[in-house]
Structure 1
Amino acid sequence: MSGPVHRQTVFIVDDDPSVRDALALLLSLRGYPTAVFACAEDFLRALEPQWRGVVIADIRMPGMSGLEMQEALAHHPSRLPVIVVTAHGDVAAARQAFKFNAIDFLEKPFDHEQLLASIDRALSGLPPDASTIGTRPVASTLSAREREVMALVVEGLDNRAVGERLGISPRTVEVHKSRVMSKLGARNLAELIRIAQVANGAG
């Protein structure tokens, strides 16, 4: 572990040493204090209530997963916000991450500027939906069909399954999905899931 933990710190929890080193280097060059951990268990054992900052956690790690660690953190006195990163993202994982108020859900390889923006949002004490996410009234923005498509997409159905459920072609589903993403300002499926959860009062 390196870096001070008495001030706003970015805690990197990832079992891949190359990822830890690359993130620590990127963040240190941008002026962020960092502390690195190879597994969730090591981080939770070291965690103290007075620590402040944000956690970047990989999902798939030996032992406790990043999502399990996030759930444990939700009940810890430090209440550190979490940015979830993964090379194996899916709808179920994104939904669980946002259930416990993840600041962001990023798939590797992720955009560094998006990561830095999420870190800044977390360190500023803003909630996960404090940017454009969740600020648009979904019901008044989308057509009835678009709301139907959105609901099924965030359940984890692919275009073909959505089309079968609604009696439309996969291509038409894709058109509706693209319009939904554009209208709500969602850059990816994870953001769409977050918007849906906020709209349903789950965020």
Structure 2
Amino acid sequence: MSADVVVHIVDDEEPVRKSLAFLLSMTGYAARAHESATAFLKVAPQLERACLVTDLRMPDMSGVELLHRLREAGAMLPTIVITGHGDVPMAVEAMKAGALDFIEKPFEDEVLLEAVRHAAEELDRRNVGIGDVEAIRGRIGQLTERERQVMDGIVAGLPNKTIAFDLDISPRTVEVHRASVMAKMGARNLPDLVRMVLADGTRQR
């Protein structure tokens, strides 16, 4: 599967571009590095069988703006956004703009490779089907009202302490509800949960 997929890397830091390109090429992917979002936009409309790994914060334009520009150009690709700690709300905005996944720095190599594998698979399965949306709504329907409140806080990128303060419960109780939400939703991680909530358009704000 990896042999026919080209992974495009957009990051303004050369060491990061080289490191990611090396990791991906060693794993069997063809990798192409771009020093800016502007440079990538020039080639994006001609790409086929490609996915994108982009930094969230860059000098010329943010990863969120890049996604908006790709959509406007009809050149949307399965996209993984790399984000710094504390940028979860912005990463969620990127997913609303069409990103498939986001990864918080620092991350293990395998975390990125798993996200790229997922992006490559998405090329063959671009849209969430109606049945998937119904299943997600069914899972959300199994949550208690408190669990839904905690989930909304998680997806908004709020830390446990803030969610606890807003709901007048202890941070430990938030942790318990958070674990229950992840289990009931069948979410492997935060991006997975965000994807499900975005697929269920009734909960978008």
**TM-score normalised according to structure 1 size:** 0.82
Checking the alignment, whether the CA contact within 8 Å between 2:182 and 2:193 is kept in structure 1 is: yes
Partners of 1:63 and 1:25 in 2: how far apart? 24
Could you say which residue in structure 2 is the equivalent of 1:14?
A: 11
Q: What is the one-letter code of the residue matched to 1:115?
A: L
Checking the alignment, whether the CA contact within 8 Å between 1:103 and 1:127 is kept in structure 2 is: no
Greater mean deviation of Cα atoms: 61-70 or 165-174: 165-174
Could you say which residue in structure 1 is the equivalent of 2:192?
A: 191
How has the CA–CA distance of structure 1 residues 171 and 53 changed in structure 2, closer, same or farther, with 3 Å as cutoff? Answer: same
**Aligned-CA RMSD value:** 2.5
1:50 shift after superposition: 4.1
Percent pairwise identity = 41
Deviations 1:117-144 (A, max 9, x none): 32223223134869xx975433333222
**Map of 1:1-203 to 2, 5 A cutoff?**
8-124=5-121, 125=123, 126-127=125-126, 136=136, 137-200=138-201
Length, aligned pairs only: 194
1:72 shift after superposition: 0.8
Partners of 2:103 and 2:49 in 1: how far apart? 22
How has the CA–CA distance of structure 1 residues 166 and 85 changed in structure 2, closer, same or farther, with 3 Å as cutoff? Answer: same
How has the CA–CA distance of structure 1 residues 139 and 87 changed in structure 2, closer, same or farther, with 3 Å as cutoff? Answer: closer
In terms of fraction of residues, the more helix-rich structure is 2
**TM-score normalised according to structure 2 size:** 0.81
- Please identify runs of 4+ aligned residues in structure 1 that moved more than 6 A: none
Partners of 1:159 and 1:31 in 2: how far apart? 39
Partners of 1:105 and 1:160 in 2: how far apart? 22
